[in-house]
Amino acid sequence: MLPEKTNCLQGGAAVHDDIVDRRQYSLRVDKRALILGIESSCDETAAAIVRGGEELVSSVVASQIATHAPYGGVVPELASREHLRNLVPVTRAALAKAGLTYAEVDAIAVTNGPGLAGALLTGVSFAKSLAWALGKPLIAVNHIEGHIHAVLLEERQKGAGTLEFPVLALVVSGGHTHLFLADHQGDGWHYENIGHTRDDAAGEAFDKTAKLLGLGYPGGPIIDRIAKFGDPGAVQFTFAQLKHGARQESKRAGRIEPDRKRFDFSYSGIKTAVLRYVESHGMQDAIEARRRGLLQIAAPVDEDFKRLCDRQTLDLVASFQAAMVGDLTQRTMAACREYAVRTLLVTGGVAANSALRASFEQSARGSRVRVQFPSRQLSTDNAAMIAAAAYSKWISGEFAGLDVSAEANLQLR
């Protein structure tokens, strides 16, 4: 199947503070290209088939939570070993679910960064071998771009017509807390970073706080489910006022634009604040008892957490979540105002958080910003988002050579 070009843009002005951006990106596509996506950047081995950038045909995710849980975080060497074990069966399962053979796939897309170097390398090597053996094009995809396209894939699938510019994406996960203006020119997507975390990612703060409180791993989903039992106003957390040094000139659409305001985040301080609270309130013994208690339960349910957490802990958890959600929403909505954003995409593992979704929805209500999230399954790492992000590269023939490599610190542009 040959790539055709149909994605259309009306108008032409680039996003700029004083220019009203009236362009719309057509989400309607009529493509039959079958792209096999492969994802192995962190602790999920995933494969998926997406047709025409709009139809999720199959998606398989092998989680490594059980492997890493005893360590309270991802152990890179174990992650690579698990990927090696899982890549072939997961890919076969995705093809089988789709009722397809390797030969029927049109292109192989793979995450080549950012992420854990060894983990990325397993997926990239596997995808390169497949592309070479099958004689199919190889498409390298940035993991962060994948998270952004998880939302676009599902919007297309729902039959949404257009996406209004300017588009801002908050990618908030275990490894990233980034704000990108996303623009579509010609056949491709272009991104401008207007904010990122100066230290820990938001998901990392959730995971470290949960670990500190003896709640288990990964912490985000656990905090999400138990925060509703505590008082979010019990403990006050404050965030640093971040000073933005000399503003950088940014290069977009082949021309230098004037200063662009930045909206950075910082989440290492709140983790330290939780630690101080724990120490000053003598909570260590209760935490140790909880850790041991939860180790005895294979799949703890709400009642187990309630039984093993006293009121003070539940209040602390609720307050932590409320503070994180408040800061993420406030900074992102300030960026929306600054850049006259019309569409806000909130994506990445932390976008699965129910309080975060509610907070963005409430903040956007009555404003001109339309906020969109992926489904919960596509918020966390998966390969459907990689196959979806590869679609516009397929259209424009942006293929990777067999010398493409894993890049742990790959930037998104």
| Least Å from the CB of residue 171 to Zn ion | 8
Is the peptide bond prior to 3 cis by the omega test (within 30 degrees of 0)?
A: no
Which letter does DSSP use for residue 53 in this model?
T
| Least Å from the CB of residue 63 to ligand KG4 | 9
CA distance 69 to 215: 11
How many alpha carbons fall within 13 Å on the CB side of residue 172? 32
The size of the chain, in residues, is 413
Contact call for residue 349 and ligand KG4 (CB under 6 A): yes
172 vs 278, beta carbon nearer Zn ion? 172
Contact call for residue 154 and ligand KG4 (CB under 6 A): no
Long-range CB contacts for residues 371-374, cutoff 8 Å, separation at least 24:
371/344, 371/345, 371/346, 372/151, 372/155, 372/343, 372/344, 372/345, 372/346, 373/151, 373/345, 373/346, 373/347, 374/147, 374/150, 374/151, 374/153, 374/154, 374/347
Beta pairing class for 138-142 and 107-113: parallel
Hey, what amino acid is at 85?
Answer: R
Q: Show the binding pattern over residues 374-403: x = contacts Zn ion (CB under 5 A), - = does not.
A: -------x----------------------
Span from 189-197, 199-207, 245-253, 294-302 in contact with ligand KG4 (CB under 6 A): 199-207
Span from 119-127, 189-197, 330-338, 347-355 in contact with ligand KG4 (CB under 6 A): 347-355
Q: Is 242 helix (H, G, I), strand (E, B) or coil?
A: coil
| Least Å from the CB of residue 349 to Zn ion | 6
Is the peptide bond prior to 258 cis by the omega test (within 30 degrees of 0)?
A: no
Footprint of ligand KG4 on 14-73 (CB under 6 A)? 42
Hey, what amino acid is at 399?
Answer: F
- Name the CA dihedral angle for 95, 96, 99, 100, rounded to a multiple of 10 degrees: 30
| Least Å from the CB of residue 133 to ligand KG4 | 29
- The residue assigned the tokens 């802990």 is 313
Which residue, 108, 107, 148, is CA-closest to 3?
Answer: 107
Contact call for residue 203 and ligand KG4 (CB under 6 A): yes
Contact call for residue 173 and Zn ion (CB under 5 A): yes
Contact call for residue 359 and Zn ion (CB under 5 A): no
273 vs 351, beta carbon nearer ligand KG4? 351
Exposure string of 270-287, with b = 16+ CB inside 10 Å and e = fewer, is bbebbeebbeeeebeebb
Contact call for residue 221 and ligand KG4 (CB under 6 A): yes
Q: 173: left (phi > 0), else alpha (psi -120 to 50), else beta?
A: beta
Is residue 39 within 8 Å of 63, Cβ to Cβ? no
54 vs 381, beta carbon nearer Zn ion? 381
- Residues that bind Zn ion (rule: CB under 5 A) add up to a total of 2
Span from 62-70, 134-142, 170-178, 284-292 in contact with ligand KG4 (CB under 6 A): 170-178
Is residue 375 within 8 Å of 79, Cβ to Cβ? no
| Least Å from the CB of residue 328 to ligand KG4 | 10
Q: Which does 206 bind (CB under 5 to 8 A by kind): ligand KG4, Zn ion, none?
A: ligand KG4
Is residue 257 within 8 Å of 247, Cβ to Cβ? no
Contact call for residue 58 and Zn ion (CB under 5 A): no
Hey, what amino acid is at 333?
Answer: M
| Least Å from the CB of residue 176 to ligand KG4 | 6
162 vs 377, beta carbon nearer ligand KG4? 377
| Least Å from the CB of residue 120 to Zn ion | 12
CA distance 310 to 27: 49
Contact call for residue 123 and ligand KG4 (CB under 6 A): no
Task: Return the ∠ at Cα 146 (arms to 142 and 148), rounded to 5°.
Answer: 120
Please identify which residue in 57, 381, 385, 392 interacts with ligand KG4, judged by CB under 6 A.
Answer: 381
Span from 100-108, 123-131, 203-211, 336-344 in contact with ligand KG4 (CB under 6 A): 203-211
91 vs 382, beta carbon nearer ligand KG4? 382
Which residue, 374, 413, 370, is CA-closest to 167?
Answer: 370
| Least Å from the CB of residue 361 to ligand KG4 | 15
Q: Which does 224 bind (CB under 5 to 8 A by kind): ligand KG4, Zn ion, none?
A: ligand KG4
Contact call for residue 224 and ligand KG4 (CB under 6 A): yes
Footprint of ligand KG4 on 253-312 (CB under 6 A)? none
Which residues form the interface with Zn ion (CB under 5 A)? 173, 381
Which residues form the interface with ligand KG4 (CB under 6 A)? 42, 173-175, 203, 206-207, 218-221, 224, 348-350, 352-353, 380-381
